[in-house]
């Protein structure tokens, strides 16, 4: 025979248990939302973005790049840092510009994109701004990083795939060969290692 006091106590325990389950579920949802995004192997060691003083840019060569190329790489790195992006994004940006223009502001395109211009060979299709925007290292890099951030889970993708989905070029693996050089260049600009180039 159950007493009224015991039944009331059981109901209170069940209600308390339900409240605790709801709180636990809410905690797990908040933790998932605020957790760092998953990272590719290449970007697992990414830290906060670095800021480069243009006066400290080395003449080079660094990984075969020098002078104007390294100054352009610094502009790319600083554009990412201004948007609050990390060292992984900075290296992806430099890698992409290496693959598109050898870190030079090109005033010409190619057979596939005769209207492509600048460090990132951005097309004259309205998505990348004006001709002046595409020819300006900081503005073109900023537009690249804004587009990169629109790629779902870009941090978890291999860098060449993240760059490919941003640039929409023909070969998804085109940028892969530039990764190690980009890590080296960003590290030289920062004055310290930024990512482990060996995966």
- Residue 41 has a pLDDT of 93
Q: Is residue 46 part of a domain?
A: no
The residue range of the domain holding 99 is 54-190
Contact predicate 55/15, CB 8 Å: no
pLDDT at site 33: 44
pLDDT of residue 199: 35
Which are the contacts of 133, defined by CB distance < 8 A and separation ≥ 6? 139, 140, 143
The pLDDT of residue 195 is 85
| Helical packing angle, 159-167 and 137-148, nearest 10° | 110
Kindly state the tokens that stand for 157.
């993708």
131 and 81 in a common domain: yes
Same domain as 153, residue 91: yes
pLDDT value for 102 = 98
Same domain, 176 and 143: yes
Residue 173 in any domain: the answer is yes
Together in a domain, 185 and 120: yes
User: Is residue 111 a part of any domain in this protein?
Assistant: yes
- Together in a domain, 17 and 87: no
Residues 18 and 113 in one domain: no
Examine residue 67 and state whether it is found in any structural domain, yes or no. Answer: yes
Residue 19 lies in a domain: yes
Question: Does residue 47 belong to any structural domain of this protein?
Answer: no
Q: Could you give the count of Cα atoms lying within 13 Å of 86 in the half-sphere of its Cβ?
A: 15
Residue 6 counted as domain residue: yes
Domain identity same for 97 and 28: no
Q: How many domains does the chain have?
A: 2
* pLDDT tens by residue, 27-44: 655 444 445 678 899 999
CA end-to-end distance (rounded Å), the chain:
68
Q: How far is C-alpha 19 from the chain's CA centre?
A: 40
Which CATH number goes with the domain that contains 71? Answer: 1.10.530
Identify whether 45 is part of a domain: no
- Give the pLDDT score at 11: 73
Residues of the chain with pLDDT under 70: 1-7, 9, 13-36, 196-199
């Amino acid at each position: 025979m159950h007493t009224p006091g015991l039944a009331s106590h059981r109901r209170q325990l069940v209600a308390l248990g339900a409240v605790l389950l709801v709180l636990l579920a809410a905690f797990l949802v908040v933790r998932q939302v605020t957790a760092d995004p998953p990272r590719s192997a290449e970007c697992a060691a990414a830290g906060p973005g670095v800021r480069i003083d243009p006066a400290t840019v080395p003449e080079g060569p660094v990984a075969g790049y020098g002078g104007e190329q390294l100054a352009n790489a610094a502009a790319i790195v600083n554009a990412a840092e201004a948007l609050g992006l990390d060292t992984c994004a900075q290296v992806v940006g430099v890698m992409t510009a290496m693959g598109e223009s050898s870190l030079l502001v090109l005033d010409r395109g190619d057979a596939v994109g005769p209207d492509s211009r600048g460090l990132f060979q951005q097309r004259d299709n309205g998505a990348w701004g004006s001709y002046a925007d595409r020819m300006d290292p900081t503005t073109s890099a900023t537009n690249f990083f804004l587009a990169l951030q629109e790629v779902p889970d870009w941090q978890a993708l291999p860098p060449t795939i993240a760059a490919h989905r941003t640039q929409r070029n023909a070969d998804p693996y085109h940028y892969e060969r530039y990764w190690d050089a980009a890590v080296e260049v960003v590290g030289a600009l920062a004055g310290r290692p930024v990512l482990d180039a060996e995966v």
